[in-house]
Structure 1
């Protein structure tokens, strides 16, 4: 097969994998229903799906015209949150033309222009190969990240919540991303102390206290309008920060300026867990972080999530390493947190209900199993927080998701018995 035909076949396969099946009513019978809601876990329970919504939950529900699936007692959960990723805005991390996740406008801090109006979700591609790869692993939605890199600024821009349903209109509320501490030092004159000076200036610009024509101004008119919304509490600000002392400064600064923040990372969050809880600030943690990866994370520990939860902090999860291509590992992150003291139900909530509430999409994504909620559901072979379990069936808006991806197609192709044809050719059976 020549190169143009191979490319066409690859694109066609991706498009077909993204198309949901026809909607119909379903009755999932005899499941262990993990509601991620007040009802908790309901063994031997039926879930009726009608018109893309959960119509009823109970035992011995009448099927009517619904197609019946016998779960055989297996776990049923809401579709999972995939963490903070670049799914759909990054295809091949080593190929810059396929990466749209970060904005770089200058070569050094002196050239820095802060552009909070930058919205990475405008580059989202629902036909990305990574979408079905994540979806067949039980992941129904994610938060697109607006990252920073050399030449950028400590305010990376805006990301957005995205449903992985293959639709062209999949993006939900935006969130602003800020990087502080050691990770942001190269974006603020090589000093974390300068970050607070710059943030105070940006606040003053957004509030009109510094003239747009000032030679020291860092924001465009659009940037001022965008930042002003967040300073008025209209939208969540995701702050990447790790060190305990930086976390405390972040909490105080956010409170004094009326920002609605969530912490991302917070490897040393357990050290200041009572203060985080008192500020009612949620935390997105990577429960696999247990080594001092840098001087900001000397206190990293596997029981960070458990300690934060015990203090009363809302805990959700994310992956700090290659999150886009390995979003499936988000279950391992939550499972590790359980192994180190986090209650199982709290871990499931950290993959479903809690991130939905924090990001303002509870009801827009099926993050709970309750009547009236969107039927975004996953039937698992076993404990969903055990990496030995797999997603057997996935529904988004009550539509069964084709359990195919570029990876499964490659697996099936090259595990197929030898047909006598060169490996570049499709099997005659296909």
Structure 2
């Protein structure tokens, strides 16, 4: 585009030079108008807080010159009388792809592409900060008109492609000017997203956590590059450094990703402007804490068609609540003090934007806040305060003229002026024919009522108190009225047409009767139109009562998060998971979130007493290998993804968390999957249902990482034959290669202060130095031996072999190495490499002296790990206490958190479960599950929640039925089943 503008300029200059031979110097083809245009008698919204009644303002050369109650009118001014009209600053949309050519999708895609496809740019094709909107821009007059009809005068546009997308441009929607004159800022901001570029088939990254890791690495590389440390030119990194001081706009598609984007920004001291989802109300405290300005799409979900009771069962409470609550999102953001702007993204600006905005106002968004979100806030966000979004001296003359309050459904938008250029949307020269009339036609009298806006009048005709079918059109002051015949036994029509004078209380014209004969009619006004106050009730007829937001905002969420309590459990059978495994008729005092005392006849003090007679109290179950509560499991783009973090993709809203609590589970290790030999960094979580992802993180836990062996990493079942490794011996070579690189990297780091920080290598160095521990997916004894030998070669040990279904074959070698085991209780023969699995595996390894845990690797199994532990009593004759240790203290030891959890011991965290029966029994059920003295699951509260869910569903279904019956648009119910998550799941979880 820059080249096009330069060529155009040269041509124009040449033309100008030659034109002097043919035209007088002062009489060119086109004269530029430099007079003032003055607008008077308008209600002027100078800014969201300042309104001038019957005010005046003048413009010249595309700018506001003067605004006030009364201004001096320069000579030769063009004067426009706006009596009865209102003027607002034109609106600003900070997120669009207006005028940008659609990126071309990369060809090919047969075999995976692992390397970048561009020379001279960053190693990953999805980092494209060098992209600039100007080079891809062509003014789209049709799209511009759609924006203009909604009241917009300026849009920020960009190329919506890639993770770091490059710079946007601020464009005025000015009609009939050159592209250069429209551009207010050709580098208005830098855009980022969680989406890869369609212009490349490069595989990495394949997950949200991979995207986050890639952004981190790009930032680190840009800083390193800026220090002059690179040997080669990298145009992408140069652009990234050049763009760093621009407004940074991060595009997201859901609330969790909004918070993830802010997390990355915080790590690098970058405050993103975040394109949100409209669901910010669900986590207002976290949204507020981000300190971000949000760009909110004004899109609300349609009600579901729930007339069929069977299909209604497939609509989740979460989906119903979103429909119910989303229109109040902006009101809640405003009340919380979160700065936000609005975007037309994902909706039709002309058809949907204004109606949705009015809906948000009806649900409580103050009008001045709505106006600020469209004017002053986006102007400030993009660094253009005082230049756009206001009607003040020196600002661009961008404004709309309306028939009244913009937020009134009946108001008409007449004109949209941008840079002083007029865009007529509806003629202001319209006769107001609204009112009540006596209509005389063919010897009969009718009552004629015309209401609504003059530009869009509505009609109602009655005769002898009976309603007559009617249809009215009114254009260019010509009225056409179609009436059904008063004789209801006939399908006949009367057609009336009249040229209406500009100011009159009497309308006369021609009428064509059903038999084709012509006559005349007269309509005499008896009273003016009734003011709009009468319609206030109708105005809010589509509103529904909001149900409360819960944490999380779905079934079994808390209206108020449970608080920490001091509790005294009396007369329980206590399974300690310590040296004295069973304590009969024992009291346990919980104080300040910790186990304060264990004994008999303890004094409760101010603690709440719980009678545990005949019940069992245990430490909370710990699942060493879990994949619940995550938005992504595998980063499969490379054979090593040590740089990715499962903490980045924690989903605190996963219902599996609540179900685990109902099964007595309090802590899990959220593991990366098994797509590659070196996987991602683990997240050790406490299942604090209703809390944020950050609050769920086990702060004291040691760092872990997932490794994997076997069929998955060599892609035996994935149909890919390109990525190394393809064999088990290749897997070994991967480990050797990467740890050799890590050692070399560590040497470089120590000796070179200007080393390039590599997040992947940093993680592997932590392993070499014993600062990060390995949990390795494993099956076959040969590979188990192999990984221990590799570890010993590089001077570290494998902390845990998980799955380890052939562990009974190599238990002695594992003990010598210092590895522990986390296994299934009785899974076998579900794929080739587990053909030798036996149900005695856990018992054998336990007898050899290994620390053995039973894990789930499965959301359904995780909530019944007590029963999985019990199977080793049957298979191998393990004692109840040893079996119970395999889901409590043993996994705590494997995770290096046994100083805090895993057993009932004074001073440890009060992560406890009260059972109604022996925990190893299939009949046992938790009655209370607590974490740090907070009861997150209570069987009695669970019954109350079930009743509340039933009532809320019934209420919301009723609201949706009412919405459909009132003519509102609905969406069909689609049966959805959540995917079962295991180690081999690829992609992101929806």
Q: Same fold (TM over 0.5)?
A: yes
Q: Please list, as runs of the form range in 1=range in 2, the aligned pairs for 1:8-407 lying within 5 A after superposition.
A: 8=325, 12=550, 14-15=552-553, 16-17=557-558, 20-89=561-630, 99-105=631-637, 112=638, 114-149=640-675, 153-165=676-688, 166-167=691-692, 168-171=694-697, 172-186=701-715, 188-208=724-744, 221-261=758-798, 262-289=800-827, 291-320=828-857, 323-341=858-876, 342-364=878-900, 366-403=901-938
Secondary structure of 1:169 counterpart: helix
Maintained 8 Å contact 2:618/2:904: yes
Quote the offset at 1:373 in angstroms.
0.8
Distance 1:336 1:200 in 2: 38
Quote the offset at 1:292 in angstroms.
2.1
Q: CA, structure 1 residues 19+236, in 2 after alignment: closer, same or farther (shift >3 Å)?
A: farther
Maintained 8 Å contact 1:115/1:220: no
Quote the offset at 1:402 in angstroms.
4.1
Maintained 8 Å contact 1:17/1:404: no
Maintained 8 Å contact 2:639/2:725: no
1:322-341 deviations in whole A, cap 9, x for unaligned? Answer: x1354213222211122212
- CA-based RMSD: 3.0
Farther-moved stretch of structure 1 (16-25 vs 268-277): 16-25
Maintained 8 Å contact 2:639/2:677: no
Distance 2:586 2:746 in 1: 60
Farther-moved stretch of structure 1 (249-258 vs 384-393): 249-258
Q: CA, structure 1 residues 407+379, in 2 after alignment: closer, same or farther (shift >3 Å)?
A: closer
Distance 1:41 1:303 in 2: 25
Secondary structure of 2:703 counterpart: strand
Secondary structure of 1:147 counterpart: coil
Q: Which residue does 2:980 correspond to in 1?
A: none
Secondary structure of 2:713 counterpart: helix
1:69-122 deviations in whole A, cap 9, x for unaligned? Answer: 111131100111134212221xxxxxxxxx3121132xxxxxx35220100111
Q: Which residue does 2:464 correspond to in 1?
A: none
Q: CA, structure 1 residues 275+70, in 2 after alignment: closer, same or farther (shift >3 Å)?
A: same
Distance 2:608 2:949 in 1: 34
Secondary structure of 1:234 counterpart: coil
Quote the offset at 1:60 in angstroms.
1.1
Secondary structure of 1:14 counterpart: coil
Quote the offset at 1:170 in angstroms.
2.4
Q: Which residue does 1:108 correspond to in 2?
A: none
Quote the offset at 1:404 in angstroms.
7.3
Secondary structure of 1:56 counterpart: strand
1:146-192 deviations in whole A, cap 9, x for unaligned? Answer: 1133xxx3212111211112353322433111111233222643200
Maintained 8 Å contact 1:14/1:406: no
Distance 1:5 1:300 in 2: 45
Quote the offset at 1:211 in angstroms.
11
Quote the offset at 1:62 in angstroms.
1.6
1:200-222 deviations in whole A, cap 9, x for unaligned? Answer: 1001110117999xxxxxx9821
Farther-moved stretch of structure 1 (367-376 vs 331-340): 331-340
Distance 1:138 1:298 in 2: 32
Secondary structure of 1:382 counterpart: coil
Q: CA, structure 1 residues 148+302, in 2 after alignment: closer, same or farther (shift >3 Å)?
A: closer
1:241-260 deviations in whole A, cap 9, x for unaligned? Answer: 11122212222222232333
Unaligned runs of 5+ in 1: 90-98, 106-111, 213-218
Distance 1:23 1:209 in 2: 46
Maintained 8 Å contact 1:267/1:301: yes
Q: Which residue does 2:303 correspond to in 1?
A: 2
Distance 2:549 2:668 in 1: 23
Secondary structure of 2:834 counterpart: coil
Maintained 8 Å contact 2:646/2:681: yes
Quote the offset at 1:198 in angstroms.
1.3
Maintained 8 Å contact 2:634/2:674: yes
Quote the offset at 1:298 in angstroms.
1.9
Quote the offset at 1:67 in angstroms.
1.3
Secondary structure of 1:88 counterpart: coil
Maintained 8 Å contact 1:81/1:140: yes
Which structure has the larger Rg? 2
Q: CA, structure 1 residues 159+18, in 2 after alignment: closer, same or farther (shift >3 Å)?
A: farther
Q: Which residue does 1:94 correspond to in 2?
A: none
Distance 1:178 1:406 in 2: 40
Farther-moved stretch of structure 1 (44-53 vs 336-345): 336-345
Maintained 8 Å contact 1:36/1:349: yes
Maintained 8 Å contact 1:18/1:132: no
Quote the offset at 1:130 in angstroms.
2.4
Q: CA, structure 1 residues 81+129, in 2 after alignment: closer, same or farther (shift >3 Å)?
A: same
Distance 1:21 1:385 in 2: 28
Quote the offset at 1:266 in angstroms.
1.0
Q: CA, structure 1 residues 49+226, in 2 after alignment: closer, same or farther (shift >3 Å)?
A: same
Distance 2:935 2:866 in 1: 21
Distance 1:233 1:270 in 2: 26
Maintained 8 Å contact 1:20/1:402: no
Distance 1:393 1:293 in 2: 35
Structure 1 residue ranges, 4+ long, deviating more than 4 angstroms after superposition = 8-11, 209-212, 404-416
